[in-house]
Amino acid sequence: MTTLVLPLAGAGEEVNPLLPHTAEIIFGFVFLILLAIAFAKVVVPKFEKAYADRTAAIEGGMNEAKQAQAEAKAALEKYNAQLAEARSEAAKIREDAREQGAQIIAQMREQANAEAERIVTHARTQIDAERSQAVAALRSEVGTMATTLAGRIVGESLEDEARQRRTVERFLADLEASESARAAVGTDG
């Protein structure tokens, strides 16, 4: 095995393998500066642009979210206002319906009362007419029976119409007088 000795160091000096040569240090330093300049000119602006784009996108998204939130809040307020208006309108409609119902009931009661009054009046008129007919028929029958009875009692014929009418009138007057007297005694007692 042969040892390799580098001629850069002095003849009597021994070379330290850990220390680089001066030329390598200078060359490395120049390369580092060129690399930093290239990095600053090419890579850093791309990173800055990407960072700015991302910041703008985030801020734009936040602005859009704020705008959407404001629109949602406005829509909610509009909805609540419409809901309140609809509720008040529904309450008004219910109240109007109650009033109309009360009016209809009142009108129907008035119509029913008027109809009942008309029916009662008609019935009374009809009853009075029927009573008058019944009284007239009863007078005629009672008159006929009275003349027949009176003729039998008296023993002569009461066929004469004028005589018959006077007799019937007298009989009915006596009958009404006796009924009135009974009614007066009945109310006193």
Q: Which two tokens stand for residue 180?
A: 């009135």
Residue ranges per structural domain of the chain: 42-178
pLDDT at 100 (0 to 100): 93
pTM above 0.75, yes or no: no
- Burial (CB count <10 Å: 0-12, 13-18, 19+), residue 149: middle
> What phi-psi label fits residue 14: left (phi over 0), alpha (psi between -120 and 50 degrees) or beta?
beta
| Dihedral Cα 152, 156, 159, 161, nearest 10 deg | -100
Q: Which residue has the higher pLDDT, 184 or 114?
A: 114
Q: Which residue has the higher pLDDT, 77 or 153?
A: 77
pLDDT at 76 (0 to 100): 93
Please write the tens of the pLDDT for every residue from 77-129: 999 999 999 999 999 999 999 999 999 999 999 999 999 999 999 999 999 88
**74: pLDDT confidence band, cut at 50, 70 and 90?**
very high
pLDDT at 156 (0 to 100): 60
Q: Which residue has the higher pLDDT, 24 or 151?
A: 24
Please write the tens of the pLDDT for every residue from 46-65: 999 999 999 999 988 899 99
Return the residue matching tokens 């602005």. Answer: 63
